[in-house]
Copies of this chain bind each other. A is one copy, B any other.
């Protein structure tokens, strides 16, 4: 399979590009498509790398708008958990397909997923053409240690044949839902099999207080004692980390993924200390978190919010600039999230074409345009591994994906799709 694109703008230069077997094989002013190439006419569109969503629970598209604006524990206990107990693989498959559709449309090419029935999520990612690291949430409170370990192992078996764009991982849910003994077991299993590990860390102040009370250690130190801070660890949130923890994380080479929208929406009370993380030398990525607690998968929106919040928190409009924000959102500041190093020969052919005529992209410096003015709507075409997943706004099979996801939401008894009981007078 080969693909040729022509007449695109890459970092200010007019270029063509050929991809073969998922990799960029030609790049320059004069690239002539060959008869065997699929083609994609860029017509002055801007080529940029794709976005990397460092933390989500993709299938939760189905839960979107279900119990919003409730306090966190009430949302989980009354809304989410009862439904999750009834989840079937097909729910996860179509929920993840829908998430993939939205990601393709808004320019995400790779994501880190933590959700139930990961084999179904992996199948969805494969069918959608994206890349992902996929893992089941591991929880062993209430003495479910044996069942959890068995489930972890069997999910790895099931993920073994998921295909080359999918990486299997391990995802201990959090330090407060997995025993220290199991954290150690996970660390050993990950080391043994060379697997990445994702975990929620230091999302709430309560988590820090409880960890200190139980272990006399702050969360990152506790995680390190369990052997789980390594260059293969991706930590989500990190809102309440202190300087000593940031230094430790930097020393261990772990990645920190910040999820600004979810942090605000769930009102965790603090803004991710990015300047300190940067000063410590930590690899930082950006995530949307699950569509149940965001509720969008449009990374353009979240990168803008990331930059805005950091300016606000630092009380300095120059605290983080657009180019740096763009690097974070494209995974360039956290190589272990698996982004291509850059758009160059021999690298994976993962990239976006952005609309040439979008007013939001037509003025001033491109990084500022991308971060502050654009939304995902500027993405015209999305290419992953040399395959065109969206061509000029069109994604094959989009209608079926939405219809099937709606069926699964109905099957789960979730709030009726709109058009039903929407008699809110605010809407007229």
Q: Mark A297-308, 1 if CB is under 8 A from B, else 0.
A: 010010011001
Does A362 reach chain B (CB closer than 8 Å)?
A: yes
Interface-side segment among A135-143, A172-180, A185-193, A401-409: A401-409
Given contacts A318-B71, A326-B427, A359-B61, contact A372 B265 (CB under 8 A): yes
Min Cβ gap A260→B in Å is 9
Does A230 reach chain B (CB closer than 8 Å)?
A: no
Does A36 reach chain B (CB closer than 8 Å)?
A: no
Does A343 reach chain B (CB closer than 8 Å)?
A: yes
Does A319 reach chain B (CB closer than 8 Å)?
A: yes
A267-B314, A363-B409 known, 18 other contacts, Cβ within 8 Å: A9-B418, A12-B421, A61-B363, A65-B363, A65-B364, A65-B366, A66-B365, A102-B359, A264-B309, A295-B360, A342-B428, A344-B428, A357-B398, A362-B406, A364-B415, A364-B418, A366-B418, A366-B427
The answer on a CB contact under 8 Å between B46 and A321 is no
The chain B residue sitting closest to A363, CB to CB, is B64
Does A43 reach chain B (CB closer than 8 Å)?
A: no
Chain A: how many interface residues by the 8 Å CB criterion?
A: 100
The answer on a CB contact under 8 Å between A359 and B98 is yes
A-side residues, CB < 8 A to B, are 9-13, 44, 46, 48-49, 61-66, 68-72, 75, 98, 101-102, 261, 263-267, 269, 271, 291, 294-296, 298, 301, 304-305, 308-309, 311-312, 314-324, 326-327, 330, 332, 342-344, 357, 359-369, 372-377, 398-399, 402, 405-406, 409, 414-415, 417-428
The chain B residue sitting closest to A354, CB to CB, is B418
Residues on the B chain within 8 Å of A315, using CB: 267, 269
- State A426–B261 Cα separation when bound (angstroms): 24
- State A344–B65 Cα separation when bound (angstroms): 27
Residues on the B chain within 8 Å of A322, using CB: 68-69
Residues on the B chain within 8 Å of A366, using CB: 65, 418, 422, 424, 427
Given contacts A312-B269, A362-B418, contact A425 B11 (CB under 8 A): yes
- State A269–B315 Cα separation when bound (angstroms): 5
- State A291–B296 Cα separation when bound (angstroms): 23
Partner of A364, one of B68, B72, B425: B68
- This chain: copies in complex: 2
- State A423–B9 Cα separation when bound (angstroms): 11
Most buried by B among A266, A330, A367, A420: A367
Partner of A295, one of B10, B46, B368, B419: B368
Given contacts A375-B298, A423-B11, contact A69 B318 (CB under 8 A): yes
The answer on a CB contact under 8 Å between A359 and B9 is no
The answer on a CB contact under 8 Å between B301 and A375 is yes
The answer on a CB contact under 8 Å between A317 and B265 is yes
- State A210–B41 Cα separation when bound (angstroms): 57
- State A357–B72 Cα separation when bound (angstroms): 30
The answer on a CB contact under 8 Å between B66 and A364 is yes
Partner of A68, one of B62, B368, B409, B422: B368
